[in-house]
Structure 1
Amino acid sequence: MNTTFKILIASTLLVSLASAASAKDWIETVKLTKDGIDAVPIEVSANAGGYTSIKSSSHRFLMKLHARATSGERIVAMKIGAFKGVRYFESDGGHWSRSFANRDVGAGKKRTVSLNANPVVPTAKIAWQGPSPKQVCEANLANRRAKGMRRSEVLSKSWTVSAHAYFELDAVAARKNKAKNNKWSIKNTTNQRDGMTYKVPVKCNAGLKKNS
């Protein structure tokens, strides 16, 4: 009796593990990359005392979203977010995100989906990987002063530096028939994520006028 019971438990466990592994394999690749040259900087304001705040209210990011499902599945949704732990079916807790589904991703008919996305994100919602634009301007000021420049000399010029923003992409896949009939949900899909660090140009504006 015990032997039979153990066999049943082992069989159930193997089926569960096989199902989990199968679901995990529904997506072959997920990739989030920068798409093009980001030439417009985020500007930082300054006065005679130093850098005061981020002047730019928003920034346009140039990104490419890519996901590929396995042969029996289709990509049914994507979501990019400016935070860690992005998930299509979960709320964002006040963070910035943008979702793509239905016709945006081929109405459940495509195994491979590649999208160009150029979202405009409020600077207050950007997740900085390391120092913020204001902080990198302050670091540049400190470095210049350490090399012998006066504070007033540094603040009389504009400087170009860079900061790094963080984004994640979550892709969702469903079985081909569920995707085609738009019958997919959190219960019959699987997801996979990719994250990226995005280099953003920063302009540290002058806080003092040059002496003529």
Structure 2
Amino acid sequence: MTKNKIFNIAAAGTLILALTSNAFAKDWIEKVKLSQGIVDTKPVEVSANLSGYTGVKTKNHMFLFNMYAKATKGERIVALALGAYGNVKYFEHPGSFWDKTFEGRDVGSGTKRTVKLYKTFNVPVSKLAWIKKPVDLCNTNLANKTKKGLSKTQVLSKEWTIKAAAYFELDAVAARKGKAKNGKWNISNTTNQRSGAPFTVYVKCNAGLKKAP
């Protein structure tokens, strides 16, 4: 079935609804779970100058998504929507936010009660919903190191690798078995449930100086 999305979206202020898995509007869905697969060890790089950290150099970052959805008895999973923002809904257009949708053969063409998908995507770093932005994390690390006795010059003369987190959310859509099989499902005869999780991202705070004096 070709998706028929409603072209509106919740306010951007709902980017991060939770830091651990959450579920909403259960009804015909037993469980939805989104989790991170293998963490990409290639870091997101942050630039620096004499004063501190200035911006993100990396354009894209790879994520492995483990997606799971199980419908109640008598219903079937008909679609999934994955997004880098809060309040993800399959039937709502994501606007400028990053998202991917799965329906038809991707989810078993309406015949599966349980759907498991493992997908890898390179996501634009500018589209990520950071729990705390990489530049801010690097500057916080700088402040912490100087509090411990290092000079600002000493901190900025070397590279530091720290952990960050980006938020993603999965929305699953379920329909009655008959409607799902025949492809006759829409926003009025389905229910949805969501799960969100923070995904680990390594961040490299690059040196802003060639060497400490």
TM-score tier after normalising by the smaller chain length:
0.7 to 0.9
Q: Say which of 63, 80, 83 aligns to 1:81.
A: 83
Structure 1-normalised TM-score? 0.86
Q: Deviations over 1:58-82 (max 9, x none)?
A: 1111110000011201100000111
2:40 matched to 1:38?
A: yes
Equivalence for 1:146: 147
Instruction: Give, as a single letter, the amino acid of the residue that structure 1 aligns with 2:127.
Output: K
Determine which structure has greater relative contact order: mean sequence separation of CA pairs < 8 Å that are 6+ residues apart, divided by chain length: 2
How far 1:37 sits from its partner (Å)? Answer: 2.7
Distance in 2 between the 1:53 and 1:117 partners? 29
How far 1:88 sits from its partner (Å)? Answer: 0.2
Equivalence for 2:97: 95
Correspondence 1:47-126 to 2 at 5 A: 47-126=49-128
How far 1:211 sits from its partner (Å)? Answer: 5.6
Distance in 2 between the 1:101 and 1:48 partners? 50
Distance in 1 between the 2:153 and 2:26 partners? 58
Instruction: Give, as a single letter, the amino acid of the residue that structure 1 aligns with 2:62.
Output: R
Structure 2-normalised TM-score? 0.85
Distance in 1 between the 2:29 and 2:210 partners? 56
Counting aligned pairs with the same residue, the percent is 57
Q: Per residue, is there more helix in 1 or in 2?
A: 1
How far 1:55 sits from its partner (Å)? Answer: 0.6
Q: Over aligned residues, Cα RMSD in angstroms?
A: 1.4
| Uncovered stretches (5+) of structure 2, i.e. residues with no partner | 1-24
Instruction: Give, as a single letter, the amino acid of the residue that structure 1 aligns with 2:111.
Output: K
Q: Say which of 28, 31, 34 aligns to 1:29.
A: 31
Equivalent pairs, count:
189
Distance in 1 between the 2:197 and 2:81 partners? 14
Distance in 2 between the 1:191 and 1:78 partners? 9
4+ runs of 1 displaced by more than 3 Å?
none
Aligned to 2:149, what secondary structure does the other structure show?
A: coil
Larger radius of gyration: 1
Contact 2:39 2:201 in 1 (8 A): no
| Uncovered stretches (5+) of structure 1, i.e. residues with no partner | 1-22
Equivalence for 1:185: 186
Equivalence for 1:157: 158
Distance in 1 between the 2:205 and 2:26 partners? 45
Distance in 2 between the 1:167 and 1:71 partners? 28
